[in-house]
Structure 1
Amino acid sequence: MPRLAANLSMMYTEHPFLERFAAAARDGFRAVEFLFPYEHPAAEIRARLDAHGLAQALFNAPPGDWQAGERGIASLPGRQDEFRRGLDQALEYAARLGNRSLHVMAGLIAPGQDRAAHRAAYLENLDYAARLAAGAGITIVIEPINPRDMPGFFLTRQDEAQAVRAVLDAANLKVQFDCYHCQIVEGDLTMKLRRDMAGIGHIQIAGVPDRHEPDLGELNYPYLFEQIDALGYDGWIGCEYRPRAGTSAGLGWARPYLNRGA
């Protein structure tokens, strides 16, 4: 049975951010995730989690200059010191919020840039991140993202991400399996889940191709949930989609899972 986490960066955007926790809890969610917490003191977010009985499932380490178009810095040569400072901040927030998973975004690579240099920086930063996070009991997750939504993203395929994980051989480095991104780039989700489940640290869902509710589009999520259960995954499944209309009104697909609890 899927344990669903509401993604508060995409869902409940009809409310101010700090009010989204209460809205998610009212609808039956027992966990939340979001992109970045850094605009708010950790204590404010923790107060919302505690007040509404919510677990924090996941958030991202600082991504560089998001407003200027950066989408992570882990693979950017020459940004190692900035990456380490951001990781320290992320781990401080994780300690306050209680989540055990932290997403590190790879970043963008422009045409003509040296991919080998980006890969070397990526491996160096991830090795550092995994070693530092291990002391805090935190798992670092890396995510392939489709090039239609994020052109130029360094990591686009599940097998590429699993290969990075294999090179570093860190027990607390896992891959984030976003069904939406994987379907757009690769398809054949069931076989990839079966192949890679031992190395998957977090799962996210959305309808394909429009990234609306999971019951809209070409993926059969009830079937995928059965497969995920059968493979022994017991982590949170993040609902990282843009509701077509109001968030609560579009949760018909989730009611059977939310009503049974986490």
Structure 2
Amino acid sequence: MTAPAPREASPYLAPAQAFDALYAYCAPTLVRQAYLLTGRRDLAHESVERAFQRAWDHWPEVARDPDPAGWVRAATHDWALSPWHRLRHRYRHPDPPPPEEEDRVLLDALLSLPPPYRRTLVLYDGVGLDLPETAAETEASTRAAAGRLMCAREVLAERLPELADPGELHDRLAELASTGRTRAAEPAAVRGGGERRARLRTRTVTAVTVVLIGSTAMTLHTAPTHYVPPVPPGETVRGLPPRVAPGPLPDERRELRARLREALLDGPERLTPQAR
């Protein structure tokens, strides 16, 4: 199940050629590893393709890495074990089980393990990394990685006692990973998919930036230029007599009001303003 990849890309190869060589060397093996981690063939292929697309996006970094295969392997395992896959409709139903009874029992036991324990077991007993490398790739201490490994082995040995032998466990993991379809996509298609995703991300970021700039400009244009104090809320004034609506005037008062109105207009001179 393991295939040692070249430590660094040849300086005489173009970036695309070096990427294709790394992909052809590692992709089939990584598909089998991802299948052991997920129990799903489609997700295993998707994990490898996404990992290599990410590697192509960061190719200068990957090409200078002391272990390019390890870089892509870590990215593949991270994508395969992402908890968000359980929310995707296409992965809500399990894949058909392996045809052999022992393979079904082994796969069920693997998938019953917590993801960190499963990854530790695959890296140590499947890939063949030593304990410090396994701990580093799973971002755990050596003591924690050893504890996960022992617990995972005990769970598998309870289901299949013959797997208590590490050599037998390695062989059975390799046999289980090799069942079914393991053909990976063409490297050119993977590079093209990565470039399309990069362009889509660039367009999305550009669109979001334009929207933010436009909303900021609109806010600056419509925002007040000086401080406007808020209007205080109204208060009830107490101690005043209630307002009473005036009633109808009696006849003598109506006659008096009429005489006063006429006197203001055509009355005696003492009621008319004198011009100076």
TM range (shorter): under 0.3
**TM-score, length-normalised on structure 2?**
0.23
Which structure has the larger Rg?
2
Q: Which is helix-richer, 1 or 2?
A: 2
**TM-score, length-normalised on structure 1?**
0.24
